[in-house]
A and B are shown apart, each in its own frame.
Chain A
Amino acid sequence: MSINLKLPSSHCIPRGQPDLDRQLKSILTRTARYPLTEEELTKEQGVVDSLYGKGWAKLEGLLSDRLDLIDTIKDKLDYFLDKGGDECKYGLLKGSDLPQSEVRDKELFMAVANPLYRVPEIAEILFLDKLVDIAKGFYKCMPAVGTLNLRKSFANNLPPDQTNFYHCDKNCPFLLKFFIYLNDVDTVDDGPFTYVEGSAYEKPSNWMQSHRWPDEPIKECYGDRIKHLTAKKGDVLTATTTGFHKGQKVVSRDRGLLTLNFVACQEDFSATSQMDIKKETFLSLPEEKKPLTDFLYVVE
């Protein structure tokens, strides 16, 4: 068992050593600001070892006693998508304000803008001890919530585009995401999150040549390390998304997905992309969880 932080090499980070140094500085700063015990840092060591090794882990049935909560989040997602407009974000049709019924055959996905504010029930998952402990073990310090995403990907015949292509997240040099499917994702056609095992720490020399990569060169480079991470509603997936990944194009049935970013520095090292948390949600948090909101605006 090790409590050593495993950062990628500067080669695996888009802006190289300066950003790696900044990431480390942020971790050391949060270590000084919010001291944690070795016990707290190693509570979820098995999952962290898996993240450091493969880059992903699946937590089966973690939310199986909260399926009603997942349904509530899904219903709220549909509520906003049925309305459309500026409370929603669109994939291909930027600037559209149409409801999901009118775009589902010409759009890859729709998402709720500022989801933690509009769907405060998300907080019941976001601040779960288990997820926070994994993030603590991953960053070896008190983490913080970065941005979130609540989206529905439409089963249609559109060709793959955008996040359906392999890419490495560039928001942070070192980034941990949790994925919660809002419905079962049983097959490749259901559009699972797809991850290239070990790729956060091992990248080819030309990896920066393009942001989006088609399947062929990734298959050629990584072979059988491509994993389609199917899961049931109630499971939680986690991954280091600075490794190569994509959302497999949904073909057979719509996929609802909640994505939670945990960070140890501000995404893009900027406060402009910060999301909102409702003041009442913030105030209801126990004191020890408030540092998790350091990179969120608290809004009435």
Chain B
Amino acid sequence: MWSNKLPQIPDPKNSVSIDPTGAVTLFTQEDKDRVLSSINTRRARYGISDKEIEKEKGIVEKLYSKGWAKIENVFENKLKTIDKISDKLNYFLDGGDLHMDSLLGKQVGEGEKRLNQIEVREKELFLSIPEPLYNIPTISDIIFDDRLVGIAKSFFRCVPSIGTLNLRKSFANNLPEENTTLYHVDPNSPYFFKAFVYLRDVESPEDGPFTYVEGSANKKPDNLLSKYRWPDEEIEDFYGADKIKHLTAKKGDLVIAMTTGFHKGQKCRTRDRELLTIDYVCHPDSWQAKKQMTIKEDNFLDLPLDKIPLTDFLHIKK
């Protein structure tokens, strides 16, 4: 039975990790074994039925074959929630008081170096806010959504957890491509996926969609470790232009991807893009408790019992 099997973890030679010195390297067989240990541990710790695991099998098989999936209207009943998140993001980017800064160090829009979107929109690619779940508790309506959690359960075949989150606004301007607007492979884990929730419609490549190279989670160039960020030409030459997928979507849709494949955020040219990104994991991101994010205690206490394990890798703070 599909549910009894362990997930298909990509060969470590197709993954990218960052070692403690900051060098780009590969995950190892030991890392892959550790992922499987984490899944088995979570299976022992939190019961999960075959039915739950089988529920989103179709989506997971799509993720395995293409590396991405788009599900329309997942949040059609939560459009107001998405608007609230957008309003709060803009409130903070306009200089509104943050409740909590991040311990993660450099993050645009934080602490004394905090930037205001009006001042920087022509000279920055994006602004993000630190500790989004703590600063905007409404986000929990999205990240603990039954459908999304169901997909994560089927993907990991165990009760998953939230890793890190990102809430950012990318500015439509004439700056050259840089940073996450260049292709890269995420080094968080050999096996995880990200959920992308646009806070506004993203309809064309000029609107800055999340862009994914289909099939790249299981196929990498021989010179994978030669650099971390890759220009469009090299990726298109290796994979073919037909594998490049600009994942446009409406507000209310859900895009998910195994970001151990090549991907980038297309540079916004026509209009700003607001994006909530959530990592679903079976172990702490990069196995580092230092990267853990925070959930408000009230928010945590409001969760139904079956959702509590999703917070295993989050700090809880009043």
Contacts and interface: CB of A to CB of B under 8 A. Distances in A.
Interface in A10-48: 18, 21-22, 25-26, 28-29, 32-33
A279 B44 contact: yes
A294 B312 CA distance: 9
A249 to B, nearest CB: 32
Chain B binding surface, main DSSP class: helix
Interface in B276-318: 283-284, 287-290, 294, 297, 300-301, 308, 312, 314-318
Given A29-B315, A33-B316, A269 B103 contact: no
Interface in A255-300: 265-266, 269-272, 276, 279, 282-283, 290, 294, 296-300
A288 to B, nearest CB: 15
Interface string B21-65: 000000000000010011011001100000000000000000000
Given A297-B38, A299-B40, A18 B103 contact: yes
A271 B283 contact: yes
Interface residues of A, number: 26
A18 B291 CA distance: 12
Contacts of A276: 37
A272 B34 contact: yes
A298 B103 contact: no
Contacts of A282: 44-45
B6 to A, nearest CB: 12
Residue in A26, A29, A290 with the greatest tally of chain B CB atoms within 10 Å? A29
A269 B316 contact: no
Contacts of A297: 37-38, 40-41
Contact of A299 (B37, B316, B318): B37
B316 A29 contact: yes
Contacts of B44: 279, 282-283, 298
Contacts of B283: 271
Contacts of B318: 28
A279 B42 CA distance: 11
A293 B162 CA distance: 20
Interface string B1-20: 00000000000000000000
Interface in A60-115: none
Interface string A223-248: 00000000000000000000000000
B27 to A, nearest CB: 12
Contact of B317 (A25, A269, A279, A294): A25
A298 B41 contact: yes
A269 B290 contact: yes
A46 B184 CA distance: 55
A25 B104 CA distance: 14
Residue in B41, B284, B294, B316 with the greatest tally of chain A CB atoms within 10 Å? B41
A32 B316 contact: yes
Contacts of B287: 270-272
Contact of A271 (B284, B294, B300): B284
A265 B308 CA distance: 18
A272 B20 CA distance: 12
Nearest to B45: A298
A282 B46 CA distance: 12
Contacts of A299: 37, 40-41
Nearest to B34: A272
A21 B294 CA distance: 13
A179 to B, nearest CB: 26
Given A265-B289, A271-B289, A283-B44, A22 B103 contact: yes
A150 B34 CA distance: 23
A105 to B, nearest CB: 33
Interface of A: 18, 21-22, 25-26, 28-29, 32-33, 265-266, 269-272, 276, 279, 282-283, 290, 294, 296-300
17 contacts: A26-B289, A26-B315, A28-B318, A29-B315, A29-B317, A32-B297, A32-B300, A33-B300, A266-B289, A269-B289, A269-B290, A272-B287, A296-B41, A298-B40, A298-B44, A298-B45, A299-B41
Interface of B: 34, 37-38, 40-41, 44-45, 103, 283-284, 287-290, 294, 297, 300-301, 308, 312, 314-318
Given A22-B103, A29-B314, 11 more contacts: A18-B103, A22-B289, A28-B315, A28-B318, A33-B300, A271-B34, A272-B34, A279-B44, A294-B312, A297-B38, A298-B41
Q: Which 4 A-B pairs have the closest CB atoms?
A: A298-B44, A32-B316, A269-B289, A271-B287
